[in-house]
Every structure is written in C-alpha cells, then in structure tokens.
Structure 1
C-alpha cells in the first residue's frame, strides 16, 4: 500500500488529520520545514507529528517526511502526458492509438528504470547466478509473459520453471539452492502470500517484483524490484503498463545474469542456436555470418 493511501485511513485524531491535510496541500513545500514550523502553521504540538509517524510505522518524523517526499516525486513524474488506465480515447484514429501506445510503452520503461535500486538489482543478480534452480511464482496471466525470460535463461544453462501447476508443491519442494521470483502487482494475492512462509522456512531467497509501497510480499523479500505503479485494479482498458514493466524487469535480470559470464554465455548460446534454429530469410539484415563448425 502506498504511504499516501495509508495517510487517508481513519486512524488519526482531529489534530493529526489537520497535519495530514496540511501535508497533502503543501506537498513538496514541506521539504525544508521543521516540525516546529509545521506545528506552528497547523496550530498543533510538535509531538503530534511524531505520533503520526509512529502510527504509520516509521521511527520518526524525518523518516516519514523523506518517504512522503519520495512518493510525491514518483507520483508526479513521467506520466503527466498519458493516463495509464485510459491511454487512448473513444474517437482516436488507429494511428493516434498507435502513437499513444508507443508513448505509453516508452514512458513505462523510463518510469520502471527510475525505480530500480542498484543494491537490489545487484543482490538479485547474485542470487540468480548462484541458484541451481529458479522458480517463478505469479498469477497465471503474469506467468504467460514470463516465457521469454524462461527461454532466455534456459539457453544460457540456467534452469527456470514457471510454477503454473501446483505452486504449493513447488514451494514446499524447494531448497536453499532454489531462488524464487515472486511477481505480484498488489503484493497481496492470497495464493502467492500463502506460499511465502513455506519459501522462507526452506531458506529460499525471494526476489519480489511488485508495486511501490509496503505490502506482504515486500516483508518476505530478500530484494525488491518495483513495477511501475500507475494502474488501478479494474477500472482500465488493459494492463499495459504493468505487463511492459514486468517484461522490462525480467529482461534486465536476464541481461544482468548474462553479463556475469558474457563471453562464455554468448559463445554457448550462439553455438547451440546455429544447430537448432533453422529459420531462413531473404532479408540481408537478418543474414547470419557463417562460422566454421566445431
């Protein structure tokens, strides 16, 4: 759940609500304001700000303020030109729709890239390189877009399974040599959340692909890669940005793993492919350079 959503919950006193309303009104303007200044402008006591932070699960006001500002910065960036839920209109021509969909895709990639944290990506890459077996857990429609990741990883010798059938058994039958990639936009899907205790009990490291904010999945994850968070759950034309974001993150993970043994992976993949890929084309751009076989 986003911090801004938590702040709208009915858990605050009237004086605390006055401060929260003030934060939503001032937004980025609170960056350089002290608790004393905010208290004076809201006619409240400085300790009220500390109580709000504690209720929201933060150690103090500074931590809450920084998280609030980070979230405001994200929500205000990138998607000002297009609505992720309704990227085109009823009367748009098909070429207008094509252009808007292209813009949506480009914006989604940029938005997702801005959410990638180096430490989490580095940790995820190490876990995948080390793993003897990689298992991907998600709801069925998300697993459908993970097939390219599985194929790419398999072609450099990494064993990847998409757990479409009996995921409970797959979780229970995992070991510390397994690495789990758990994909959930909300991070609260019951069928996935129920697997997390089993994975942790068997010391399976978990890479989470999920939305910004805190959720049950993030609490179990060893590292977190954030999916662009612009879509509502149901009121939308399609899951365009979510799908594009997941595909991009999986491509980044594959490329990062590939880079750790670049020359050997490239040689192995190319060498194997030349024997099993029998496609032909008259287009010169697609022509392969012939190499001597070994």
Structure 2
C-alpha cells in the first residue's frame, strides 16, 4: 500500500481528500505517468484537492510522490534482474560441477604431483585465471610457469622437455597458438591437460586429458565477445583445493 490510511490520517482528511488517497492506493502504477489534472479527473475531484491530499499524506507534493513510486518500481525491477543473475550463476556452477569427472580430476592431480616442471598456458583475459593458478601452485611448492605471450608460444618447442606438464586454460580455443603449444609439448614427450568450456576443440587431439566445464551460450559483454570464465575458475580452484588436502 502506497499510503497507510490510519485513523489519525482519516480524521485529518475531508471526504474528497480520502477519495483521492484511496485512488492513489489503487492506482499506484499509473501515478508516475499521470499529471495532477489527470489524477483529479480520474478520482472525480479537483487538482487542489489532490494536492492537499498528497501533502496531508506526508509528501511535499506530486513530484516527491512520483519520485518515490518510480524509485520503488525501479528497485523491484532491479531485484528481479539480480535474482536472474543469481540463477544464471548458480546454473553455470551446477553445470560445471556436473560435467567434471572425478577420475579425470584425480589423474590431473597425479600429473601435477609427479611433474618436474608445469607450464600453464592461456591467452587473453583467461590468463588472469592462469596467473592465479600459477601463483597458488608456486605457493604449494610446485615449479609452475605461466606462458601467455603469443610469440613465446610459437617457439615453445624450445622450452618443453620430456615429462613436462602443460596445462592449457581456454574458453573455446579461439587462439591458434594454444593448439600449437599443445602440439609441441606432445612432440617433446610431455603431458598436456586442457581445461576448456566446450568439447570438440582442436586442443583435444593433443591432450592426454580434457577437463570440461559448463558451456556458455551467450556473452556477458557482447560488443567484445567476452564470455564467462567462471567454469575455468571452478576447475582451477578444484585442483588447488585437492592439492591442499
């Protein structure tokens, strides 16, 4: 209810003013778009009566009344949008967790534990996830190194050695240097693990293991083709959490 009609308020209103208050309570959604004259016409009163009723109800005037209603309506709309975002994030997390295979995760853990050197490969904004993964591995005592420069990836065959572990983070493998690095690692006798949000990419043909997260069907920022990397966060954190046990 827009205006609480207490006994005290009733005693302070004329019959016409009460009629206005009742109309306001019953037509709250129309008020932001109606003029004071329209409200008077629809409530069968006069503009002066509408003005007095609004002031007696505790508002400074029609402008404040409209502002409060608009703010309230915007809040309800924003609340709905936030709930939709929560549901989207929850769905994404659930899809990723459901997609993760326990045996695959445990095999990746074994690769990490028994590798002398671990290269973490990523490009674009995904390298932020890779950098955090690198840092946490280093804090746990592993020899982890991030590779994200395209020129270095093109000549990464100079770096990789037998029994090295290469972990690649990619949303959808849209960067050719990633597959090139994976190919070089396999040619050198290393192991390759791909953490990706979709299946069927060219990385899989060079990967010993593929860890797949929940696929995304829409962009978060469409103008720049930026999609959610939450599944990759979940994968990387799952690996770190297990290594910390």
Q: Is the pair's TM-score, using the shorter chain for normalization, greater than 0.5?
A: yes
Q: How many equivalent residue pairs?
A: 170
User: Deviation of residue 104 (structure 1)?
Assistant: 2.1
Q: Retained in 2: the 8 A contact 1:228–1:242? A: no
Corresponding position of 1:224: 210
Q: Which residue of 2 aligns with 1:55?
A: none
More helix by share: 2
Shift of 1:97: 3.7
- Structure 2 counterpart SS, 1:195: helix
Q: Unaligned 5+ residue runs, structure 2?
A: 1-74
Query: TM-score, normalized by length of structure 1?
Result: 0.51
State how far apart, in whole Å, the 2-side matches of 1:157 and 1:203 are. 24
| Structure 1 residues 188 and 237, CA gap change in structure 2 (3 angstroms) | closer
Of 212, 232, 242, 1:246 maps to 232
Q: Find the counterpart in structure 2 of residue 163 from structure 1.
A: 147
Q: Does residue 213 in structure 1 map to residue 199 in structure 2?
A: yes
Q: Equivalent residues in 2 for 1:1-294 (5 A)?
A: 93-165=77-149, 166-187=152-173, 189-232=175-218, 236=222, 242-259=228-245
Please tell me the root mean square deviation across aligned C-alpha atoms, in Å: 2.8
TM-score (norm 2): 0.61
Superposed displacement of residue 179, structure 1:
0.8
Aligned-partner SS, 2:228: helix
Contact 1:134 1:180 in 2 (8 A): yes
Could you say what secondary structure the match of 1:194 adopts? helix
**What's the secondary structure of 2:95's corresponding residue?**
helix
Shift of the 217–204 alpha-carbon distance from structure 1 to 2, 3 Å rule, reads same
